Structure 1
């Protein structure tokens, strides 16, 4: 069984990697090395709309960008329960067909899935999925326990790797608007409570998205949770 010390030792080596993309690649590479899996889908997670957004897929054949995969994880029970409970989950056979989507069935021999939430403290910032396993793979409670640990160690590392000025990326007003979005307030409600126009609210959202280097407000909220700027 994979020990916490061994995992931490491998993850600590990531501190020497300066490229964010390379860091994500190595995170999945370590995952493939340590566990009896043949592929790994990496997703970021936003609590706004329970959105899972694909980043990369790593297999023994190489790396694929999967930015075209977007899921409301409430439609995928195994992913939803893994994130809600912050524990690695596994399903196979008929349960796999019930709990997943056809987009994860890449070949006829795919009939099982493991999900590993990436957590920092009480916040889930992403997750890893695997649908292909080594022939001798046995996914039992002990393996799931170490997978849960891996997700926590990776979440802690990703948080640590963020620069100290992250909290200063957004202005006070921009950050307040993004927090209110995370709480579920509408543009109209924010305008009234903050005593500004709806147009100004939308402008704050637009500039926050641009500063964070993301594509939309859901991605922005997920990024702010991931960095620990909001919780």
Structure 2
């Protein structure tokens, strides 16, 4: 079983990554090296709409981009529970079929799942899902505790990396628009309440997304929660 020393040593290896995508790849590579897992789906999580967005899937055959997978995790109880409790969770058999989606079934032999939340400070910024395990592996409370710890260590690593960056700060108007998006307001509602045009609202969203270095508004909201700018 993975020792604390081994885990810390392998987490340190992540610092060798030279770019963002390589960093994400290494997070999954180390995860698959340390634990009895045969695949690893990496998702980002945004509290806006409880959205889980696929990033990459790593298997023994290599890496696949899974940006087409987007879920409201409230419809996936095992993932929702893992994120709420900030703990790795496991289910199998009939419970697996009840609590997941066919998107996560890569072969007819798949009938179980582990979800590992990635904690950044007190915020969940993503999660790892595994649906295939090494032969004769036992998914018990001890392993789930180790997986929970891995998610926390990955979060600490990302926090350390983030702390050396100097991200542009959003303007007061950009931040207000992003906060209103987090509240669930539509573009029209924001335009009316802020007394600006819908086009201007869209421009604030566009510039905020660019400054934050993210891909869309839900990712932007997740990033703002992660940095503690929204709470």
Instruction: Mark yes or no: TM-score above 0.5.
Output: yes
- Mapped to 1, the partners of 2:130 and 2:189 lie a distance apart of 41
Q: Any unmatched runs of 5+ in structure 2?
A: none
After superposition, where does 1:192-231 map in structure 2 within 5 Å? 194-231=194-231
130-139 vs 183-192, which moves further? 183-192
Q: Match of 1:36?
A: 36
38-47 vs 204-213, which moves further? 204-213
Residues paired across the two proteins, number? 230
- Mapped to 2, the partners of 1:17 and 1:218 lie a distance apart of 26
After superposition, where does 1:157-196 map in structure 2 within 5 Å? 157-162=157-162, 163-166=164-167, 168-191=168-191, 194-196=194-196
- Mapped to 1, the partners of 2:54 and 2:215 lie a distance apart of 13
Q: Which runs of 4+ in 1 moved over 6 A?
A: none
76-85 vs 179-188, which moves further? 179-188
Q: 1:4 to 1:173 in 2, by over 3 A?
A: farther
Give 1:24 deviation, angstroms. 0.8
**CA-based RMSD:** 1.8
Give 1:10 deviation, angstroms. 1.1
Give 1:199 deviation, angstroms. 3.5
Q: Match of 2:84?
A: 84
* Paired residue secondary structure (1:106): coil
Q: Match of 2:128?
A: 128
Q: Structure 2 length as normaliser, TM-score?
A: 0.92
* Paired residue secondary structure (1:127): strand
For the 8 Å contact 2:17–2:26, the answer to whether it is kept is: no
Give 1:200 deviation, angstroms. 2.4
